[in-house]
Chain A
């Protein structure tokens, strides 16, 4: 099934063409992808920039796929979570294209895209995965661990109480004078640093039963440590970066381990990891080690481009929704900036509502 997918959930303007779980094209216009091109930095905000870029990005995605829009079976678009005005741009385009070319429209949860991103170009995983499985999204905007009962049915097991992991890394990079966004450069620095040089408190050690991620306390401790170490030399920056990343990952792994130990009488077969921080090599190593400990296979997206925000993952999530016939009326599709990743209702009649069951709308969100 060939799908044109669009994602404008935050900073990145992205479009892709996918065929089932195979990627035919994947275009991202972002600051992050400019890192790969010696480029500069684009203005961060959102609506006007998306408006200016979106048509070019969509056209490029279709051209690079060697298809025409008439050959496509459906159009998919991210409806949340994300920045409201940014989401609106992608939804508006998707809607117009769906109506103009008479294509089916699929509304996708951005987080589900991240969870399913390891399926991209990985036939083997698609055909062999057993449920329940675990999904972990670690990005600049989200840090959430979910139980995957099956594709399309998720339960949140732990999520961040304050900052997302990627955000904590970015902010720390900035405290170290490494600019923004600095998560990627922080990782480079950690390779040259000694993670035992300083002691930082691991968040909620001994209280893992709270089943949550939290980075604000660690961030504050880091601020104080950096202040006390000023003036910073290259070597200090390396060591501080290494210590912070080590503490942040240790916390993440401890929580996942606790949940694996206590909440899964039947061990999950697989851990799927997506989101920008999934590109971090040290995090990959630690999660693989954890997987070994529990006999779980750990999968990451096959390319770095699929870890950050992108539309190919939206196309993949949309493919599974299409199989369940969860299409949305193009005249009724709307954004949901605080959309959660939860159990989806399987009744396709609801269209977009199948993702946002009535009891989970903006107006009455039960505590999770």
Chain B
């Protein structure tokens, strides 16, 4: 069924109906593995199909119905191929009465994907669709609801909330041989502490991998700390945030070793750290600084024997530039 929404013409198939979804995939001429978002009537119906975390609930409350697709963990109650490979599902609550009424009447969600075949023009009117598809594709459509030319609004924006799922934080289980704490009042002081820590553990370099597992909220200065480590190692290259590339490598001058600066913030699960070749870094006795280490604590701890693991926790202090920094090594 082709139907109008507040953004584009969408194509709907019963999202719980495997046969309908199969037909849709044939129509869209999509490659493997691309998921579909689904249209529901509101938060209550959404919760039958996905787990809503705090972030998602807030977004539903403030912005739906509206041109947003909100991605959450799916409950695997839709037909195969609707959820993504890793089990997430995008939900739309269109700000368009007709769609809401259709879904309400049907009692089940319909897919909310644009009605064009993949990589064709955005459909604002029915001819945008029909002029760009084959006869075979046309045969797959059972119903077209023509509301004329729609206002040329942008497609819905996709927001992924699954990154905000609570991480399995097992800090309590990490037994440290010693616990140290200082108050840093400036970026320089944080960098100096990093330098001291490097000097303390440098003796293990080349014998075992050294991991600086950095924990702390956004903006506490994990990258600043790593800059300090790099300086201490004699690295003159500019150390910048690895969030986007996930991993940056800096050669340590006059040695064959490198500092690997890793950021797990964008990673969907801890396994992705392994996919980056983390094990090889450990075997290669590298020096590694990992931001958001709490997200991958379990994997880091698998290497307790092979590596010196220095857990560093940075927290905001009372004053504007103050940071409480605590650290210790695993037993």
Contacts and interface: CB of A to CB of B under 8 A. Distances in A.
Nearest to B5: A38
Contact of B158 (A34, A44, A160): A34
Contacts of B301: none
A159 to B, nearest CB: 7
A56 B84 contact: no
Given A36-B155, A48-B275, A60 B119 contact: yes
A42 B84 contact: yes
A329 B277 CA distance: 28
Contact of B90 (A39, A43, A177): A39
A48 B112 CA distance: 28
Interface in A347-364: 362-364
A179 B55 contact: yes
Contact of B86 (A34, A43, A159, A188): A43
A88 B243 CA distance: 19
B155 A184 contact: no
A47 B157 contact: no
B109 interface: no
B114 A367 contact: no
A83 B272 CA distance: 13
A339 to B, nearest CB: 11
A219 B219 contact: yes
B255 to A, nearest CB: 10
Contact of B218 (A48, A171, A179, A232): A171
A222 B246 CA distance: 23
Contacts of B36: 38-40
B160 A161 contact: no
A77 B84 CA distance: 29
- Which one of A38, A220, A232 has the highest number of Cβ atoms from chain B below 10 Å of its Cβ? A38
B218 A223 contact: yes
A10 interface: yes
B315 interface: no
B245 A233 contact: no
Contacts, number: 194
A232 B58 contact: yes
A10 B245 contact: yes
B192 interface: no
B231 to A, nearest CB: 11
B266 A41 contact: no
Contacts of B85: 43
Interface stretch (B63-71, B198-206, B207-215, B305-313): B63-71
Interface stretch (B13-21, B40-48, B136-144, B234-242): B234-242
A220 B224 CA distance: 12
Interface string B29-46: 001111111000000000
A129 B266 CA distance: 39
Interface string B143-166: 000000000000111111111100
A184 B247 CA distance: 24
Contacts of B238: 159, 161, 367-368
Contact of B245 (A34, A42, A337): A337
A291 interface: no
A364 B70 CA distance: 45
A301 interface: no
B276 interface: yes
- Which one of B36, B157, B221 has the highest number of Cβ atoms from chain A below 10 Å of its Cβ? B157
B224 A180 contact: no
Contacts of A48: 275
A41 B90 contact: yes
B330 interface: no
A112 interface: no
Interface of B: 8, 10, 31-37, 54-55, 58-59, 62-63, 68-71, 83-86, 88-90, 92, 112-114, 116, 118-119, 122, 155-164, 217-221, 223-224, 236-238, 240-241, 243-251, 253, 266-268, 272, 275-277, 316
Given A10-B245, A34-B34, A83-B245, 19 more contacts: A10-B244, A38-B10, A38-B155, A39-B90, A40-B35, A40-B84, A41-B90, A44-B267, A83-B246, A141-B244, A162-B241, A174-B164, A177-B54, A220-B220, A222-B219, A233-B62, A337-B245, A337-B248, A364-B251
Interface of A: 10, 27, 31, 34-48, 52-53, 56, 60, 64, 81-85, 139-141, 159-164, 166-167, 171, 174-175, 177-182, 184-185, 188, 216, 219-220, 222-224, 232-234, 237, 337-338, 362-368
